Amino acid sequence: MHLFKRFEVWLLLVAGGIAMWWSFQDGTTPADDLPVAAMSPDSPLQLRRCTLERDFGNARLDLEIRYKNSSPRQLYMQPPDVRLINAAGKDVPPFILPVEKPASIEAQTTSDLRLRFWLEKADLAGPLTLDIRGQTLEVKNSAPFDLEKLENKKPKVWTGAVWSLQ
């Protein structure tokens, strides 16, 4: 039997490969293609990128950061050590999936991490500040961001604290 000599088999294999490749595309730009926000390379807390995905009246914010844990103990990236603070000074709740372990970083190491938060529309009216054990980082500046202008379930990526839809 010469199955692979048939044109139809090769056509189906190629079409299946293209379909599989297409299904894994999520519409976001890989992190390597995006410029990193301008900050000191030796800063212990660095913002790599922010991804905001609207879910009707709320949004999930994924922060990709680099953090240097100079503590002698492991740090679990959750409250009270890690907080995202809105303009009113209130903590934005973390976005937690029961099947995911909280991110952590070993003592005396530097690591790239992803932190997730669940934002309400009001949280986007002013600045957002990430606080990790007293070290702060501006995630979003004070300019209001209109969540209604962001298309539902379409992630938007920024590499700094200035968020716009252009």
99: CATH? 2.60.40
Q: Among 116, 12, 120, which residue's Cα sits nearest to residue 64?
A: 116
Instruction: Give the number of domains in the chain.
Output: 1
Q: Which domain holds residue 120?
A: 31-158
Can you give the pTM of this predicted structure?
0.73
Asked if the peptide bond before residue 44 counts as cis, ω within 30 degrees of 0, the response is no
The answer to whether residue 154 is domain-embedded is: yes
Is the pLDDT at 72 greater than 90, yes or no?
Answer: yes
- pLDDT at residue 25, as a whole number: 66
- What one-letter code names the amino acid at 138? E
pLDDT, tens digit (0-9, with 9 covering 90-100), for 113-158? 999 999 999 999 999 999 999 999 999 999 999 999 899 999 999 9
65 vs 13, residue with greater confidence = 65
The answer to whether residue 166 is domain-embedded is: no
The answer to whether residue 18 is domain-embedded is: no
The mean of the pLDDT values for the chain is 85
The answer to whether residue 98 is domain-embedded is: yes
Mean per-residue pLDDT, 16-24: 74
The answer to whether residue 5 is domain-embedded is: no
Is the pLDDT at 38 greater than 50, yes or no?
Answer: no
The answer to whether residue 163 is domain-embedded is: no
166 vs 32, residue with greater confidence = 166
CA 145, 147, 149, 154: dihedral to nearest 10 degrees?
A: 120
Give the model's confidence band at 40: pLDDT under 50 very low, under 70 low, under 90 confident, else very high: low
The answer to whether residue 136 is domain-embedded is: yes
The answer to whether residue 2 is domain-embedded is: no
Lowest mean pLDDT among 20-24, 45-49, 135-139: 20-24
